[in-house]
Chains A and B, each alone.
Chain A
Amino acid sequence: MAHTPELSPSQPSGSLHRMTAPALQPTETGTGTRQTQLLARMLLTPAVALLFIWMIVPLALTIYFSLLRYNLLDSESAQFVGFENFRYFLTDPAFLASLQNTLVLVGSVLGLTILLGIPLALLLDQPVIGRNIVRLMVIAPFFVMPTVSALIWKNLLMHPVSGLFAWIAKLFGAPPIDWFNDIPLFAIILIVSWQWLPFATLILLTALQSLDEEQKEAAEMDGAGALSTFIYITLPHLARPITVVILIETIFLLTVFAEIFVTTGGGPGLQTTNIAFLIYSQALIQYDVGGASAGGLVAVVIANIVAFFLVRIVGRNLEA
C-alpha cells in the first residue's frame, strides 16, 4: 500500500472529467459530422479507460482496506469492521495535531514563497550584470531532490554543533539554535520554502516579463512613482500568476513527506507530523493497513475541501 494515497486517487478523477467534457464539446456544437464524432469517441476510449482503471483500482482497494481490521503483524485475522477505522483515525488526538501542522506548513510556505518570490522576481527582472547566471542559481534548488536538500539542511546548515547556522551564531556570541528540537515545524517550513521559492520566483518572473513596458510608461506619464506603479500596475498584473503558484504549490505541499522523514521523523512528539506522515506512521510503523487506508481517504476529503475553498477564494483571478 502506498503511504501517500491522498491525492493520487482524487486527481485522475478530476482530470478524467475535464478530459471527456471538452473533447466531446466540438462535436456536440455541430462542428463535426456523426462519423468524426464516433471516431473521436472510439479513439478516446482506450485512454479514458486506462485513466479510469488507473484511478479506480487503487481507490477501490483503499476503500476496501479501510473497512477492514487489517494489521500486517497479524494478517491472518483480517475482518470487516465497518467504519471503525475512520472513527479511530478521526478521534485520534494525533489527527487534529497533524491536520493543524499540515495547514500551518502549507500556509506558511505559501506566504513565504510569495512574499519573497515577488521581490526576487522584481530583482531578476532588472538588467543587472550576470543576470543569466543569477537566474540559474536562483532556480537551482528546485532541481535538488527533497531528500537530498533535507539532508543538507539537517547536517550542514541546521546542525546545532557542526552546522553553518550554529557557527554563525557562535561568531556573534549567541547560543546556537537547536532547530529540530526547539523550533522543529519552523525548521521544516524553512526547508520546504527554500525548495519552492524558485518555483514561485520563476512563475512571477515570467509574468513580470510579459508586463507591457508601455503600460509602465503610461503610469509614469500619469505621475505614478515606483511604489504606485507597483501597487496599481504590477501587483494586479501578478494576481493571476500568484493564483497559479498558490494552487500548484498547495497540491504538493499537502503531501510533504521526505523533508519530515529525513529530518525530524515527525517529532519531537507530534510537532512536525502532518497528515501524510501520520498515514505513513500508521501503515509502516504501526503496520495498521486498515487505519492508514482510512487516513488516506480522509486526506482525499481534506485535499478536496482545501481545493474547494482555494478555488472559491483565488480562482476568480484565473477567469480571463
Chain B
Amino acid sequence: MGQITLQNVQKSFGPVHIIKGADLDISDGSFVVFVGPSGCGKTTLLRLIAGLEDVSGGNILIDGKNVVDVPPAKRGLSMVFQSYALYPHMSVRGNIAFGLKMAGLPKAEISRKVEAAAATLNLTPYLDRKPRELSGGQRQRVAIGRAIVREPKAFLFDEPLSNLDAALRVQMRLEVTRLQKQLGTTAIYVTHDQVEAMTMADKIVVLNGGKIEQYGTPLELYEKPANLFVAGFIGSPKMNFISGEVAGRHDAATIGVRPEHLKIARDGEGWPGNIMVAEHLGSDTFLYVDAGAIGPLTARHVGELDLSAGDRVLLSPDPGRLHRFDETGKSLRA
C-alpha cells in the first residue's frame, strides 16, 4: 500500500514562505509527477514528504497515518537523488544492500534481494564494481536499485534523469515507467521538464511559486488548463496568448490557442501575418509569425509546408479549441 495525502502542507525557511499550503491526494500505485519551473518548491515538497525537512504546518498522511513526526527511515519511502548520492567506497552490492543491512535483515535474505534487484535492472555483471567504475546510466540504475530493494510504500524521484544525455534520458524514462508499472508501487517524480511529465505521469501536479496550480491527468492539463500558468507551461511549443480587442470578442481578458490548433492558409479568413522564421522538421513545420497588433504567434503544422520566412499567411484558430481566461488568469469554461 502506498496512499499519500497532503493536507495544507506548509514550509517556510525563516521568514520566506516556500510551500504555501499544498493539498494533494495520491492514490496507491499511481505515478505522480511534480512539474514546475526551477525554484518553485518541487524539491522542497518532495523532501517534506520524505521527512528530510520538517513541515511548518499541515499534515502528511501515508496510508492514513499522520507521519509529520516520523523520521525518514520509518516512513517506508525510498528516494532517488538527483546526484544519485551513491556511497563511493561501497561496491554496487554494498550500495544496494545498505538499507537492508541497516534494517538488520539476515545475510542470506539480503543477498537474495540484492541479486533480484540487480537482475531486474541488468546490474548483475557490475555488482562488485565501485560507483566510479560505472557509466552515468549505470549509476542511475544503482540508485534506483537501492530504492526498489527495500520494497517501499512509494518511490520519490528528484530529477533523476537530468544528469544524463538526451538519448539515455529517453531510454531511462521508459525504463523507470515500465519498472514502476511492473512493481505497482506509488511513485512521486519531480522534474522541470514538461515532456517528461506528460510522458511518464498518471497524474501531474503543476507547481508555481510554492502553490499547486493544477492536479490532473496529462490530457486534462492539456485540454482544460485551470489558468494561464498551466496553459503556458504544458505543451510545446507554448500556447499563444492574445489579449485586447480580439479576446474581448470572446468575452475574455485573454484567449489562448495552441500552435497545433491554428489553421494555416495563404488566403481566405484569419489573422494576417508575416513569417519571421520557418522551421522544417519533416514531420512538423513550425512557423513563427508576426501578426501585427495581435502579437507574435506560433503555428504548428503536421507534415511539410512549402512556406519560408517573409511569406504572408493567414492564421485562424480552431473555435472548439480556444481557451478563455479572465483578468486574474483563471480559466473560463463555457
Contacts and interface: CB of A to CB of B under 8 A. Distances in A.
Is this pair of chains taken from one and the same complex? yes
B81 A219 contact: no
A89 B255 CA distance: 98
A221 B87 contact: no
Given A223-B73, A224-B102, A215 B85 contact: yes
A218 B82 CA distance: 11
Interface of B: 50, 52, 71-73, 77-79, 81-83, 85-90, 98-99, 102-103, 132, 146, 150
A92 interface: no
Contact of A222 (B52, B89, B146): B146
Given A217-B52, A221-B73, 12 more contacts: A212-B83, A214-B82, A215-B85, A215-B86, A215-B88, A218-B86, A219-B98, A220-B72, A221-B77, A221-B99, A224-B98, A236-B89
Interface string A222-245: 111000100011001101000000
A143 to B, nearest CB: 34
A218 B85 contact: yes
A233 B72 contact: no
B81 A218 contact: yes
A212 B85 contact: yes
A222 B83 contact: no
Contact of A223 (B83, B89, B90, B103): B103
Contacts of B86: 215, 218
B79 A218 contact: yes
Nearest to A222: B99
A222 B81 contact: no
A232 B78 contact: no
Contacts of B146: 218, 222
B206 to A, nearest CB: 26
A240 to B, nearest CB: 10
Contacts of B85: 212, 214-215, 217-218
Main secondary structure of the interface of B (DSSP, over half): loop
Contacts of A232: 87, 90, 98
Main secondary structure of the interface of A (DSSP, over half): helix
B162 to A, nearest CB: 14
A221 B74 CA distance: 8
Contact of A221 (B50, B82, B89, B90): B50
Contacts of A233: 87
A94 B102 CA distance: 54
A214 B81 contact: yes
A221 B79 contact: yes
Interface centre among A223, A232, A236, by most chain B C-beta atoms within 10 angstroms, is A223
Contacts of B89: 236-237, 239
Interface in A1-30: none
Contact of B99 (A214, A215, A223, A239): A223
A223 B105 CA distance: 12
Contacts of B83: 212, 214
Interface string A10-52: 0000000000000000000000000000000000000000000
Interface in A194-226: 212, 214-215, 217-224
Contacts of A237: 88-89
Contacts of A214: 81-83, 85
A220 B70 CA distance: 13
A222 B87 CA distance: 12
Contacts of B81: 214, 217-218
Contacts of B78: 221-222
Contacts of B87: 215, 218-219, 232-233, 236
A210 to B, nearest CB: 12
Nearest to A229: B102
28 contacts: A212-B83, A214-B81, A214-B83, A215-B86, A215-B87, A215-B88, A217-B52, A217-B72, A217-B81, A218-B79, A218-B86, A218-B146, A220-B52, A220-B71, A221-B52, A221-B77, A221-B78, A221-B79, A222-B73, A222-B78, A222-B98, A222-B102, A222-B146, A223-B102, A223-B103, A224-B73, A224-B98, A239-B89
A165 to B, nearest CB: 42
A207 to B, nearest CB: 13
Nearest to B79: A221
A27 B91 CA distance: 37
Contacts of B98: 219, 222, 224, 232
Interface centre among A217, A228, A239, by most chain B C-beta atoms within 10 angstroms, is A217
A214 B82 CA distance: 9
A221 B85 CA distance: 11
Contacts of B103: 223
